[in-house]
Chains A and B, each alone.
Chain A
């Protein structure tokens, strides 16, 4: 485990760069992690983060299918928001653990 500074705040991250404590997350931190992933955040991104964080808090096993059925964005749109990593990149920027599902 390591510590990183995002938006002037020290947060604990795994070696893959995922926050270990979702409660340390805020929108400024999200924007800086997104910059590392080469993603410019829009309101739509934050809608996805809210959904993921809510589902994660409920203990759900996150999948892209679940996001696709959320009514926020379809799966194609999710790939456009997070190119090359619809679930991994979105989870990382949302401040929740690396996804463990295979779909």
Chain B
């Protein structure tokens, strides 16, 4: 067996503050990867990241086709910003990204949250953003364990061997 690191990561607290496909999935992949490695995981959604745990929106998140200089056409040519403005382009690009991810067995957001919770991960919503966006508990998906303050978040994250990750 390979030698184990003397200071393994025991817990991760991951903050998702943005609601586009790439931002939400970065947090979900890291969270799921943590529980699969036996690392305790707390996932905290705030501001626009809340869309990922709002029932009506979680499977409809999109990627921005405007203001993203790394965006490419299929085939690799740069994606013209003006094209991204056209109606339906953002939805089309987003649907295509989701299709490509599913081909790699990366599921829709609600199913991904199911997987993380099944592995013992815990999902939280930020109280400040929740109040600001005037959300109700029934707006949130059943994965959400609690709506918590920043102070409670730090309590959840506490412990030796924890890493806090802001995506």
Most buried by A among B2, B29, B105, B120: B105
A56 within 8 Å of B by Cβ? no
Instruction: Determine if B115 and A65 form an interchain contact, defined as CB atoms under 8 angstroms apart.
Output: yes
Instruction: Determine if A86 and B1 form an interchain contact, defined as CB atoms under 8 angstroms apart.
Output: no
Instruction: Determine if B1 and A75 form an interchain contact, defined as CB atoms under 8 angstroms apart.
Output: no
Report the interface size for chain A: residues with CB under 8 A from the other chain: 22
Chain A, interface SS category: loop
Min CB gap A11→B, angstroms: 14
A75 with B105: in contact, given A15-B1, A15-B2, A83-B38 (CB under 8 Å)?
no
Complex Cα distance, B107 from A75, in Å, reads 13
- A15 — which chain B residues lie within 8 A by C-beta? 1-2
Complex Cα distance, B118 from A66, in Å, reads 15
Instruction: Determine if B1 and A88 form an interchain contact, defined as CB atoms under 8 angstroms apart.
Output: no
Min CB gap A60→B, angstroms: 10
Chain A minimum-CB-distance residue to B102 = A65
* Interface of chain B residues 33 through 50 with chain A (CB within 8 A): 33, 35-38
B114 within 8 Å of A by Cβ? yes
Chain B minimum-CB-distance residue to A79 = B119
Instruction: Determine if A64 and B1 form an interchain contact, defined as CB atoms under 8 angstroms apart.
Output: no
Min CB gap A75→B, angstroms: 4
Task: Mark interface residues in B12-38 (1 if CB within 8 Å of A CB, else 0).
Answer: 000000000000000001001101111
Q: A65 touches which one: B33, B37, B107 (CB < 8 A)?
A: B107
Instruction: Determine if B119 and A102 form an interchain contact, defined as CB atoms under 8 angstroms apart.
Output: no
B71 within 8 Å of A by Cβ? no
Instruction: Determine if B120 and A101 form an interchain contact, defined as CB atoms under 8 angstroms apart.
Output: no
- A75 — which chain B residues lie within 8 A by C-beta? 114-115, 118-119
Instruction: Determine if A76 and B118 form an interchain contact, defined as CB atoms under 8 angstroms apart.
Output: yes
Chain B minimum-CB-distance residue to A76 = B118
- B119 — which chain A residues lie within 8 A by C-beta? 75-76, 79, 86
Q: A102 touches which one: B33, B107, B111 (CB < 8 A)?
A: B33
Most buried by B among A15, A61, A65, A87: A65
Please report B residues at the A interface, Cβ cutoff 8 Å: 1-2, 29, 32-33, 35-38, 104-107, 111, 114-115, 118-120
Contacts beyond the supplied A66-B105, A103-B33: 14 A-B pairs with Cβ under 8 Å: A15-B1, A16-B1, A17-B1, A64-B36, A65-B105, A65-B107, A68-B115, A76-B118, A79-B35, A83-B38, A85-B36, A87-B36, A103-B36, A103-B115
